[in-house]
């Protein structure tokens, strides 16, 4: 049976007392036991019975099981945010004296986590060009604990070769960890490309229209003991598990993720092609465009769709501000993959607290506008962009 069908009809672990058709939201902190032995078995992990919602909750478990079905992961762990998923993963993998090989092209908070927060605990960030396999190889040493990357960097939209990175990682017996937020796991299999640990900010495509903040970690078994450490040590000691209400909303989002993604991605492809014809735009960057340098690699890894993020470059920072101010339909907001189309000037917002030099190193340009394309009619989006670009 098709995975999509299976996910939509996924059964609960235990039947609901009232035969509820959708998974109830178990808003409870704790669970009661009939006797001391049952209690001991649950607390010592010998049964699946939940004991406390910091580590286990039926509604969250149901959501995790559905993601497991779609991804084929050995373990799926849901967190309170994408950043919680990333920080808990890196805290499980790294240790004082170890280093992480990664890139300067990274989500701003992940960059700050790796190069700032983790650095305070003695974990070194070795940042290099992940599209240059020789550079990656030469940065790995005996203390490297993982290669960490984003599959399409934001806003540069750089795509690294996952199969090649997996080969390098595995030849050094270290895991390849990938943040795959940019293309949903309904569209491609990170596991088949050699990724050992996949991380998703479920706030984005998955939540079903910016309903809630969440994160997911998929463990494909490439690092022995990782899944167990996440479920016992990290969830217990750091306390960043997803809440049941969020799991309920994101479970609904998961059911229609595939349909929404295909439409958003098709919209983006058409919009990108239309924007290439518009005077006043210096450059349109989208991996779905045939002349994009990463087009062929992206297609070989993620299939025919290019996702719903696009950037346009205008002549100056002032032109970008004028454009943002002139928008009538497209919303001025951060976030990605909402049902509504969103626009933001990354250099002055998401990367606003970095220095000019850091922004230069990260290739975050003053002339770039990022668009996250939603489910509206493409013609309406094009009209709005056209009128916003026309000089006043």
Ligand X SMILES: *Cc1c(COP(=O)(O)O)cnc(C)c1O
56 prior amide bond cis, ω within 30: no
Minimum CB separation of residue 83 from ligand X in Å reads 4
Q: Which residues of 185-213 are buried (b: 16+ CB within 10 A; e: fewer)?
A: bbbbbbbebbbbbbbbbbbbbbbbbbbbb
Minimum CB separation of residue 76 from ligand X in Å reads 16
Cα Rg of the chain, angstroms: 22
With respect to ligand X, which residue has the nearer C-beta, 50 or 201?
Answer: 201
Pairing outcome for strands 309-313 and 144-150: unpaired
Minimum CB separation of residue 82 from ligand X in Å reads 2
With respect to ligand X, which residue has the nearer C-beta, 98 or 105?
Answer: 105
With respect to ligand X, which residue has the nearer C-beta, 294 or 388?
Answer: 294
Pairing outcome for strands 368-372 and 342-344: antiparallel
3-state SS, residue 163: helix
With respect to ligand X, which residue has the nearer C-beta, 246 or 388?
Answer: 246
Minimum CB separation of residue 236 from ligand X in Å reads 21
**Positions in the binding site for ligand X (CB under 6 A):** 81-83, 107, 110, 150, 154, 179, 181, 201, 203-204, 213, 215, 336
Q: Is the dihedral of CA 294, 299, 300, 302 positive or negative?
A: positive
Minimum CB separation of residue 362 from ligand X in Å reads 14
Contacts of 154 by beta carbon, 8 Å cutoff, 6+ apart: 107, 182, 309, 336, 346, 370
Minimum CB separation of residue 137 from ligand X in Å reads 25
Q: How far apart are CA 234 and CA 289, in angstroms?
A: 41
With respect to ligand X, which residue has the nearer C-beta, 25 or 213?
Answer: 213
What are the structure tokens assigned to 225, written together? 């003991």
Tell how many helices (H) and how many strands (E) occur in the chain.
Answer: 16, 12
Minimum CB separation of residue 166 from ligand X in Å reads 19
Helical (H) or strand (E) element with 58 = helix 58-71
Taking each helix axis as running N to C, give the angle between helix 257-275 and helix 244-255, from 0 to 180 degrees, rounded to the nearest 10. Answer: 70
3-state SS, residue 52: strand
With respect to ligand X, which residue has the nearer C-beta, 90 or 281?
Answer: 90
Minimum CB separation of residue 250 from ligand X in Å reads 11
Minimum CB separation of residue 340 from ligand X in Å reads 16
With respect to ligand X, which residue has the nearer C-beta, 205 or 226?
Answer: 205
Q: How far apart are CA 49 and CA 248, in angstroms?
A: 19
Tally Cβ neighbours within 10 Å of residue 22: 12
Minimum CB separation of residue 152 from ligand X in Å reads 8
With respect to ligand X, which residue has the nearer C-beta, 288 or 307?
Answer: 307
With respect to ligand X, which residue has the nearer C-beta, 89 or 388?
Answer: 89
Using an 8 Å Cβ cutoff, are 155 and 364 in contact?
yes
With respect to ligand X, which residue has the nearer C-beta, 161 or 179?
Answer: 179
Helical (H) or strand (E) element with 227 = helix 226-229
CB-closest chain residue to ligand X: 82
Using an 8 Å Cβ cutoff, are 116 and 329 in contact?
no
């Amino acid at each position: 049976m098709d995975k999509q069908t299976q996910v939509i009809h996924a059964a609960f672990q235990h039947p609901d007392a009232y035969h509820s058709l959708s998974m109830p939201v178990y808003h409870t902190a704790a669970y009661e036991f009939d006797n001391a032995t049952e209690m001991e078995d649950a607390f010592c992990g010998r049964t699946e019975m939940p004991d406390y919602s910091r580590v286990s909750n039926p509604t969250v478990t149901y959501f995790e099981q559905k993601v497991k079905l779609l991804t084929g992961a050995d373990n799926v762990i849901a967190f309170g945010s994408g950043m919680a998923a990333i920080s808990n993963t890196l805290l499980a993998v790294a240790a004082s004296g170890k280093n992480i090989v990664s890139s300067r092209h990274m989500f701003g908070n992940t960059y700050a986590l790796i190069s700032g927060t983790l650095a305070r605990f003695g974990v070194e960030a070795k940042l290099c060009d992940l599209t240059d396999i020789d550079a990656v190889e030469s940065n790995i040493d005996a203390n490297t604990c993982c290669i960490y990357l984003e599959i399409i960097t934001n806003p540069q939209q750089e795509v690294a070769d996952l199969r090649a990175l997996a080969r390098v990682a595995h030849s050094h017996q270290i895991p390849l960890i990938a943040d795959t937020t940019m293309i949903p796991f309904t569209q491609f299999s990170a596991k088949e490309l050699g990724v050992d640990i996949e991380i998703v900010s479920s706030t984005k495509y998955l939540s079903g229209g910016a309903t809630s903040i969440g994160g997911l970690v998929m463990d494909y078994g490439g690092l022995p003991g990782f899944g167990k450490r996440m479920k016992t040590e990290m969830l217990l000691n750091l306390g960043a598990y997803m809440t049941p209400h969020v799991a309920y909303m994101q479970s609904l989002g998961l059911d229609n993720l595939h349909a929404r993604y295909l439409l958003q991605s098709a919209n983006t492809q058409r919009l990108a092609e239309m924007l290439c014809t518009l005077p006043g735009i210096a450059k349109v960057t989208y991996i779905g465009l045939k002349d994009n340098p990463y087009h062929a690699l992206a297609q070989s890894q993620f299939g025919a769709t290019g996702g719903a993020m696009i950037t346009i470059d205008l002549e100056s920072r002032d032109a970008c501000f004028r454009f943002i101010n002139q928008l009538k339909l497209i919303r001025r907001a951060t976030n990605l993959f909402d049902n509504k189309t969103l626009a933001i000037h990354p250099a002055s917002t998401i990367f606003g607290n970095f220095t000019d030099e850091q922004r230069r190193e990260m290739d975050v340009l003053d002339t770039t506008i990022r668009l996250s394309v939603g489910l509206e009619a493409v013609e309406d989006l094009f009209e709005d962009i056209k009128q916003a670009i026309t000089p006043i």
